[in-house]
Amino acid sequence: MLERINETTEFLKAKGIINPDAGIVLGTGLGGLTEKIENRIEIDYKDIPNFPVSTVEGHDGKLIFGDFGSKKIVAMKGRFHYYEGYGPGQIALPVRVLKYLGIKCLFLSNAAGGLNPSFRIGDIMIITDHINLLPNPLIGQNDDRIGPRFPDMSEVYNRDLIDKALLIAQKHNIRIHKGIYLSTSGPTFETPSEYRYFRVIGADAVGMSTTPEVIIAHHMKMPCFAVSIITDLGVEGKIEYTTHESVQYHAARTESLMTTIMTEMISSL
């Protein structure tokens, strides 16, 4: 595993991706944040050794490096999912490469269904904890040079970063929540009974991503901050017909608010 990570890392360094301050993984309909990156280097995933290729509409499949405010970032415009047929090793490698490129923090976003009755479409939820119903990406042989066999998960989402985001949202009068994110494999959206079950076991939002990347980052002791944009509601009486296109639409409408929060957070690193 480490050999493939090093091969990919050296390839990207040779392309000019050197000493990024932070990494960002952007979810469905949320790739517009990358338009704020200046002096950019763009590389298609298909041209990066060992990288999977994003197959989902709304995930462009590009690695973008450049200036973001006063910092340098490397952004994944598009991520990888189990429902695309990728295994744990393929999903893990890009996040591990970001770490080996030198990022200090990992920021993640996703589009999610809201389970909390107080949520509205277009709300932003800061993830404070998660329930992972996907295969654990650490299953298999462990490389102790990368991280421990049994990582502690008592604080997966960095509390200092969460507090900082709340202050930024307050300053800009951005409606925001804190909550627990639950991940399923997809690609089906949830049934009403599944929505009820996920709410009963403690989830505030549900999606098809993010937890594998966070587990991998935490395995390498990398601080994480993640947000969900609520693009549909899984609350009894408010459930409507959901499509991938409607998820993209609602995610894009709220993206500018998420970008404000991310920009100020990264500038303060």
**Sign of dihedral through CA atoms 219, 220, 224, 226?**
negative
Distance (Å, rounded) from C-alpha 204 to C-alpha 119? 9
Smallest CA-to-CA distance from 107 within 206, 225, 15, 239 is with 225
Average pLDDT, the chain: 90
Instruction: Give yes or no for a contact between 44 and 61, defined as CB atoms under 8 angstroms apart.
Output: yes
Does the pLDDT at position 252 exceed 70? no
Burial of 146 (0-12, 13-18, 19+ CB in 10 A): middle
User: Could you please report the per-residue DSSP string of 51-69?
Assistant: -----STT---EEEEEEET
Task: Return the CA Rg of the chain.
Answer: 17
Question: What Cα–Cα distance (Å) separates residue 118 from each residue in 26, 81, 143, 155, 201?
Answer: 25, 29, 43, 25, 17
Ranges 44-58, 111-125, 242-256: which has the least confidence: 242-256
Per-residue pLDDT tens for 59-74? 468 999 999 888 999 9
What's the number of domains the chain is made of? 1
Per-residue pLDDT tens for 203-213? 999 999 999 99
Does the pLDDT at position 57 exceed 60? no
Distance (Å, rounded) from C-alpha 140 to C-alpha 1? 11
Confidence band, pLDDT 50/70/90 cuts, at residue 250: low
Q: Could you give the residue ranges of the DSSP H alpha helices within 53-174?
A: 88-101, 159-171
**Residue with structure tokens 């992972």?**
132
Domain CATH code at residue 147: 3.40.50.1580
Confidence band, pLDDT 50/70/90 cuts, at residue 175: very high
Question: What Cα–Cα distance (Å) separates residue 67 from each residue in 7, 34, 111, 179, 200?
Answer: 25, 10, 25, 31, 43
Joined tokens for residue 36: 């704020």
The total of other beta-carbon atoms located within 10 Å of residue 224's CB is: 24
Strands (E), the chain: 22-26, 38-44, 62-68, 71-77, 105-114, 124-132, 176-183, 205-207, 224-233
Distance (Å, rounded) from C-alpha 175 to C-alpha 121? 11
Q: What's the confidence (pLDDT) of residue 12?
A: 97
- Which range of residues forms the domain containing residue 147? 2-267
Confidence band, pLDDT 50/70/90 cuts, at residue 256: confident
Confidence band, pLDDT 50/70/90 cuts, at residue 27: confident
Confidence band, pLDDT 50/70/90 cuts, at residue 30: low
Mean pLDDT of 254-266: 86
